[in-house]
């Protein structure tokens, strides 16, 4: 499996054939951008983000759209790298997505874009995401992962 970095948010790229893993945030967000590009309405996007954040569990719009998301609390309220239990929970969310992908989604190319602002994604989240994809066996399904930094 190939893992590479994209030095900007992914909104300007052509990601046809990719499955997006992002943050469950509606409004001016990567979730909104990609879901709108795929023809989903604002109410659907908002309900999806609300469900993930209310349950604190990752979720997916698959098969309706190639988009999955993790709760926004990790990139918002709990963004400090010093809290080991928070980082472990964050990594568990990524693992849950990888398991769901192996079981049902079956995406071969995954774009991870955790931007919640124009600022770069905090380095500890980029590192943790790469570690999970490197160490948590995604099976033979995933061929390529791009992490937007």
pLDDT tens-digit series, residues 54-66: 999 999 999 999 9
The reported pLDDT for the residue numbered 79 is: 64
Residue scoring higher pLDDT (81 or 63): 63
Please name each of the domains of the chain with its CATH number. 2-148 (3.40.220.10)
R_g over Cα of the chain: 14
Say how many C-beta atoms besides its own lie within 10 A of residue 52's C-beta. Answer: 24
CA 129 to chain centre: 9
pTM score, whole prediction? 0.93
SS3 state at 94: helix
Q: Which one is predicted more confidently, 79 or 116?
A: 116
Per-residue pLDDT band for 112 (boundaries 50, 70, 90) equals very high
Count of CA atoms in the C-beta half-sphere (13 A) of 135: 10
- For 61, the token pair is 């719009």
**What contacts 144, CB < 8 A, 6 or more positions away?**
1, 2, 3, 4, 108, 109, 110
Question: Is residue 146's pLDDT more than 70?
Answer: yes
């Amino acid at each position: 499996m190939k893992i590479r970095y994209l030095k900007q948010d992914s909104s300007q790229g052509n990601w046809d054939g990719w499955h997006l893993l992002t943050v469950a945030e509606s409004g001016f967000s990567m979730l909104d951008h990609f879901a709108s590009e795929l023809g989903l309405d604002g109410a659907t996007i908002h309900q999806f983000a609300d469900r993930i954040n209310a349950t604190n569990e990752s979720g997916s719009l698959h098969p309706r759209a190639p988009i999955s998301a993790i709760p926004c609390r990790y990139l918002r309220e709990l963004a400090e790298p010093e809290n080991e239990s928070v980082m472990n929970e964050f990594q568990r969310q990524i693992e849950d997505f990888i398991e769901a992908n192996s079981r049902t989604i079956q995406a071969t190319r995954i774009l991870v874009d955790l931007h919640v602002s124009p600022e770069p994604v905090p380095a500890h989240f980029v590192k943790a995401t790469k570690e999970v994809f490197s160490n948590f066996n995604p099976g033979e399904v995933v061929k390529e992962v791009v992490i937007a930094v």
